[in-house]
Amino acid sequence: MITNILKHNYQVLIVITAFSIGLPAFGQSKDLLPKLPVSTNSFIPANEQITPMSLEERVQRGVVPQRGVVSIAPGVGKNDLLFSGNGNMYIKVYGNPLSERIIFQQERLLLPWKRPFEAPKIAYVLPDVTDLILKGKFQEAFYLSLDASAKVGIPIGMGGHRLIPAFEMEIEQQKSGRIKNYLRTIDFESGEIKVLWEDKNGSWERQVFVSRPDNSVIQFLSAPSGQVLNTRINLSTSMNENLSIRMEMDKYTTDAKYRKEPVTYTRDFNEHRFIQ
C-alpha cells in the first residue's frame, strides 16, 4: 500500500493509491462489482409485453389530465391501483387491458368483531396520563391508557372496523396482437379513470368514475372504429383475502390454520347487521 500524506494549514489529506488484502483491487477485476439491476420486463415474453404510450403521443392526443396521475403500466399489487369514489363508496382499478379487475367497496360493509364493544370508561386515568405527558414520559402515558382499556375488556391492539369488498368485477377480452401505446390515468378533478391501449385492431379505451349526485359507478367501454366489443364481464362475490384480513377477524388467536385458509365473505346488506 502506497500512502501519500500531505499536511497544510492543520489539514491532512491522505491519498491511498493501492490497497490489497489478498483480493484484487476493484479497479483490477469486474467480477467483484455488483451486477446491474434487471428490469422485470426482461422475464416476460416479447409477445406478452405491454409497451407504454410515449410522451409525445400523450401530448399529441391530449390524454394527460391537468391535475391527476399517469401510469405507463397496469397495477400489480394493492398499493399500485387507481382509486375513485364519492364518500359512500369507491372502486379500485388495476387497469389490465385483457384481464381487468375492479374492486367495489361501500362504507357500510365492515369487518365484524367477535363481539360488540363499547367505548371504555377510562376517564379516571386521564389525570395520570396528562401528568406523564407533561413530564415527557410519553411511552409510559401511552401504555397506562392501554392497560386501563385492557382492564375493562378492550384488548390491546384492537383497531377500527376494516372494509369488506362488496364484489369484484372482472372484464376479460381476447388478445389481438401485441399491446402497445398503453396508458392509465386518473383525473383528480372529476375522479374519472381511463385505461387506453392499442393492438392490431386499433385503439381501445375504458372509462369509469363514481358519481356523487347519482351515487353510482359509471363505466364506458369503447372498441376501435369498425370493431365489435366482445367482452366477458363477471361479478365475483366470493373473494379470498390474505392472512392480514384473517388475523384481523380473530386477532388474538394463535391457531396456525389461519395462516393457510382463505377467507370467504358472506355479506349482509342490512345496515344494522354485519355478519362474517
Q: Do 179 and 204 form a contact (C-beta atoms < 8 A)? A: no
* DSSP secondary structure, 105-128, as one string: EEEEEEPPPSS-------GGGHHH
Residue range 175-223, pLDDT digits in tens: 888 999 999 999 999 999 999 999 999 999 999 999 999 999 999 999 9
Q: Residue 55 pLDDT > 80, yes or no?
A: yes
Residue range 168-188, pLDDT digits in tens: 999 999 888 899 999 999 999
Higher pLDDT, 115 or 81: 81
Position 166 scores a pLDDT of 86
Report the chain's mean pLDDT, rounded to a whole number: 77
Q: Which three cell numbers stand for residue 9?
A: 494549514
Residue range 81-109, pLDDT digits in tens: 999 999 889 999 999 999 999 999 988 88
* DSSP secondary structure, 133-199, as one string: HHTT-HHHHHHHHHHHHHHTT--TT--PPPEEEEEEEEEEE---S-EEEEEEEEETTT--EEEEEEE
Q: Do 80 and 129 form a contact (C-beta atoms < 8 A)? A: no
CA distance 193 to 124: 50
Q: Residue 17 pLDDT > 70, yes or no?
A: no
Q: Do 80 and 95 form a contact (C-beta atoms < 8 A)? A: no
Q: How far is CA 38 from CA 43, 45, 48, 72, 270, in A?
A: 9, 15, 18, 18, 51
Percent of the chain with pLDDT strictly greater than 70: 69
Higher pLDDT, 145 or 117: 145
Position 159 scores a pLDDT of 67
pLDDT band at 149 (very low <50, low <70, confident <90, very high): confident
Higher pLDDT, 154 or 189: 189
CB atoms within 10 A of CB 107: 11
Positive or negative, the CA dihedral 15, 17, 23, 25 is positive
Kind of pairing between the strands at 179-187 and 50-52: parallel
CA distance 215 to 195: 22
Higher pLDDT, 62 or 154: 62
Position 49 scores a pLDDT of 85
Position 266 scores a pLDDT of 53
Q: Do 84 and 208 form a contact (C-beta atoms < 8 A)? A: yes
Position 187 scores a pLDDT of 96
